[in-house]
Amino acid sequence: MASVWFLMVVLISVQKVFGDVCLKDETELTCNECMRCNGDWCTARGSKHCYLTTATEDGTCPSALEKPHIEKEVTKPGVAIQPVYAERTLLINKPTKIDITYNASAKMAPELKMVYSTQTYNVELMEYATECSGDTCTSTIQAKAATNFCNVTGGISEYIEVTFDVGLSEKARIKYNVPCACPCSGEVETASVYCSKNGDFSCGACTCNSGWTGEFCEINICSKRGDVVQCSLNPRKPDECSGNGYCSECETCICYTDREGSQYFDQENNCEDLCMSITNGDCEDCLVTDTLGECNKCSEITIEKLNRSLTDERDFKNRKVWVSCKADLDDCGPIEYYARQDESKQKYVMMVKHCNEIISEALVPSETKVPIILGVLGIVAAVAAVGGVMLWKHLNAVPPVPLNDPQYQNIDAEDCTGENPLYKPPTSSFKNPTYGKW
């Protein structure tokens, strides 16, 4: 039996994305948003409704879960390919597989193509496997809709269409039905008494009207403000809310939730981000110290060794744990560092650039690295030795023979005798000037 395996992943680009709503806290999600984020929705009144990370089969939900709308499966046989048409339900972020059988004489490798979508094209298509036996081949294809597949207006049954082509007289066409909303969202009690007449009741929860909040829409948002005015609606100013939020109708800051480090935005302090909270106030001095550990001048700051591998850490909502910060401090200059904050508001800092000094390993005085120093000294010694040898050879070299002198030319090899032009005969007699004076 011949067995052929193919792997083809088609990542389709984004269209009309409804926003990264899945970064919101699960307590803030509606039933439709919860389903679009692959969550479970509990319809029990007064309970937690959306569960994105916790399974609810263990009795966590005291009442029935809201089930997505499941269309009936459809399978139609073809002549050259089986099935030639099929309908399947595709739940968000949950892979769905289907087998397609065809003649082994196919003229081309399997080709998957998404030809239509009522929402976005954020779907992963994969030819999971192909096995051939005799004159028949069977390909298993897999589809997976991403959490940002649905638009904000998505209904209980959206769909995509996919074609499967191997060069035969027929193409297989598969329709995937994708639930993008809760079935219960179509049953709405407006101005519900359960919601204090300040919101609509659906799927066991209240959707409050503008200006109201709380589980039963019983809290006037602006009443929480008191005498504090964080921002101005008229005129609006882009630098208000620290550039990390917008001004609400109550003239309070609403922080963005889809930006890097947004989990650290401080709504009570004009959406100040983590970098601002560290450099503003008394904690700035902690960034110019050479000491690791808890800062003496600001106990809420802890300086840690730089470990760049940690900077890629993400939390369960796929948000970066460490945020990159830059600042320009008086008497120090530009600095760079990474920072994070835990649930107790304790802040941790890893310095990257400290008062114009680039930090590679840790924020501590550099240690003497013996192997490196010995290596450098060895190279210097070797260079000095080579230079000394070359200088000695130069000083003791034999003077070059003037080969271009006419006396050294035209001396043939057959000459058995020759006269050395530099030769001087020895002196035959010598008179000692001191002879006879003693």
pLDDT, tens digit (0-9, with 9 covering 90-100), for 170-206: 999 999 999 999 999 989 999 999 999 999 999 999 9
Residue 121 to residues 7, 90, 276, 340, Cα–Cα distance (Å) = 20, 14, 38, 35
pLDDT reported for residue 55: 63
- Share the mean pLDDT of the chain: 81
Among the ranges given (214-223, 340-349, 377-386, 410-419), the one the predictor scored with the smallest mean pLDDT? 410-419
Percent of the chain whose pLDDT exceeds 90: 43
pLDDT at 383 over 80: no
pLDDT band at 17 (very low <50, low <70, confident <90, very high): very low
Between 426 and 144, residue with greater pLDDT:
144
Between 393 and 43, residue with greater pLDDT:
43
Which amino acid does the sequence have at 319?
R
Which amino acid does the sequence have at 37?
C
pLDDT at 268 over 50: yes
pLDDT reported for residue 118: 97
Exposure string for 285-314, b = 16+ CB within 10 A, e = fewer: ebbebeeeeebeebebbbbbebeeeebeee
Between 238 and 103, residue with greater pLDDT:
103
- Reference 244, options 211, 266, 213; nearest CA is 266
Among the ranges given (118-122, 160-164, 210-214, 318-322), the one the predictor scored with the smallest mean pLDDT? 210-214
Among the ranges given (116-120, 143-147, 296-300, 327-331), the one the predictor scored with the smallest mean pLDDT? 327-331
Residue 149 to residues 146, 158, 418, Cα–Cα distance (Å) = 5, 10, 103
At 392-432, the pLDDT tens digits run 676 666 555 555 555 555 555 555 555 666 666 665 555 66
Q: Would you state the structure tokens that stand for residue 307, as one six-digit string? A: 């470990």
Structural domains for the chain? 1-186 (2.60.40), 187-224 (2.10.25.10), 226-269 (no CATH), 277-358 (no CATH)
Between 320 and 403, residue with greater pLDDT:
320
Q: Would the pTM of this model clear 0.85, i.e. be above it?
A: no
At 79-131, the pLDDT tens digits run 999 999 999 999 999 999 999 999 988 888 999 999 999 999 999 999 989 99
pLDDT reported for residue 357: 73
